[in-house]
Amino acid sequence: MKCPFCMSLDSKVVDSRLNEDGTSIRRRRECVTCGKRYTTYEKIESTPVLVIKNNGNRQIFDSAKIKNGIIKACEKRPVSMAKIDKLVSDIEKQVNNTLAQEISSKKVGELVMNGLKSLDDVAYVRFASVHRQFKDINTLLEEIEKLVVTKGEDGNK
């Protein structure tokens, strides 16, 4: 690390602390040459994950879009904002843990639906109807029947 005062490359770390949000480390350094102190910040460099849309376009993964979709699906439902934030955080972790630089929008939608299925049945069906683009009422009924069957198997009727 180059000293901002004398441009020397020789310094020592006097103190290291994790930032309040836990995303970076604050380091107090002292220049060995001139003795002056200065602060540096160290954070992980992340490469963005691209989402491949149905039409082939690519855009950077944006957890805010996921959150907005989940909020719309959960509108007027007894789902707390804390649960929505947790679900968004879990989905973001899953996307980043794939270690892939690209992920399909279908895969992201499936992650959201899996999370919503355990959160709220109505929100799940709302989101699935948009994500899977149900063509008619029969397709919607089939999805609801599948949900009822899996809930029945889990014993969560």
Residue-level pLDDT, tens digit, the chain, 157 residues: 899 999 999 999 999 998 877 778 999 999 999 999 999 999 877 788 999 998 999 999 999 999 999 999 999 999 999 999 999 999 998 998 888 899 999 999 999 999 998 899 889 888 888 877 777 777 778 777 887 787 766 655 4
d(CA 109, CA 113): 6
| Domain match, 66 and 38 both | no
6 occurs within a structural domain: no
To the nearest 10°, the Cα dihedral for 146, 132, 126, 157? Answer: 10
| Domain match, 69 and 127 both | yes
3 occurs within a structural domain: no
In tens, the pLDDT along 79-112 reads: 999 999 999 999 998 998 888 899 999 999 999 9
| Domain match, 69 and 113 both | yes
Domain count, the chain: 2
Specify whether the CB–CB gap between 152 and 110 falls below 8 A: no
| Domain match, 131 and 98 both | yes
| Domain match, 23 and 92 both | no
Instruction: Give the ranges where the chain is alpha helix by DSSP (H).
Output: 63-73, 81-97, 105-119, 121-131, 137-154
Specify whether the CB–CB gap between 91 and 83 falls below 8 A: no
**Long-range contacts: 122-131, Cβ < 8 Å, 24+?**
122/77, 123/70, 123/73, 123/74, 123/77, 123/79, 124/73, 126/72, 126/73, 127/69, 127/70, 127/73, 130/69, 130/73
| Domain match, 34 and 93 both | no
Specify whether the CB–CB gap between 85 and 68 falls below 8 A: no
Write down the pTM of the prediction. 0.63
* Cα end-to-end span (Å), the chain: 61
| Domain match, 38 and 62 both | no
Name the residue range of residue 20's domain. Answer: 11-43
| Domain match, 54 and 108 both | yes
Strand-pairing partners, residue 143, are none
| Domain match, 98 and 138 both | yes
119 dihedral zone (left: phi>0; alpha: psi -120 to 50; beta) = alpha
81 occurs within a structural domain: yes
| Domain match, 94 and 19 both | no
- Residue tagged 């069957």 (tokens): 149
